[in-house]
């Protein structure tokens, strides 16, 4: 087999994507606070380390994917193949 086609098999298939100690959603929160801190300064510089830390503490107690569902309930994200959040009747 060609060496260019070989890829290492991941050790843990269900492990989330990480950069350093941040998972992708924590990194997005960190980068969001960084942009706000660069634009507005003041309190956002304090939230830069505290925001992702508090989010990760909350995230440990919740089921996987709760942020996506939270954004869905706030009508900020639309999930494919799901009915609208305010739909009362759903027939499969």
- The pLDDT score that the predictor gives to residue 67 is 79
Residue 3's pLDDT band (boundaries 50, 70, 90)?
A: low
Boundaries of domain holding 37 = 17-73
Q: Is residue 87 part of a domain?
A: no
**Contact status, residue 77 vs residue 59, Cβ threshold 8 Å:** no
Handedness of CA 92, 63, 67, 13 (dihedral sign): negative
* Residue 10: pLDDT band with limits 50, 70, 90: low
Q: Is residue 46 part of a domain?
A: yes
Mean pLDDT over 64-81 rounds to: 79
Question: 37 lies in a domain?
Answer: yes
Residue 9 lies in a domain: no
Please name the residues in contact with 67: beta carbons below 8 A apart, sequence gap of 6 or more.
25, 59
Domain count, the chain: 1
Answer whether residue 38 is part of any domain. Answer: yes
Q: Tokens at residue 80, please?
A: 């494919």
Is residue 38 predicted with pLDDT exceeding 90?
yes
Instruction: Give dist(CA 83, CA 91) in Å, integer.
Output: 10
Question: For residue 1, is pLDDT > 60?
Answer: no
30 assigned to some structural domain: yes
Q: Is residue 25 part of a domain?
A: yes
Residue 49: inside a domain, yes or no? yes
CA distance 32 to 39: 11
Whether the pLDDT of residue 2 is over 70: the answer is: no
């Amino acid at each position: 087999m060609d060496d260019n086609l070989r890829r290492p098999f991941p050790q843990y298939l269900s492990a989330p994507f990480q950069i350093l100690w941040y998972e992708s959603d924590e990194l997005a929160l960190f980068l969001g606070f960084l942009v706000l801190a660069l634009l507005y300064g003041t309190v956002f510089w304090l939230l830069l380390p505290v925001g992702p830390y508090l989010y990760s503490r909350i995230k440990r107690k919740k089921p996987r994917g709760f942020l996506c569902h939270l954004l869905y309930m706030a009508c900020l994200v639309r999930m494919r193949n799901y009915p609208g959040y305010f739909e009362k009747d759903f027939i499969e």
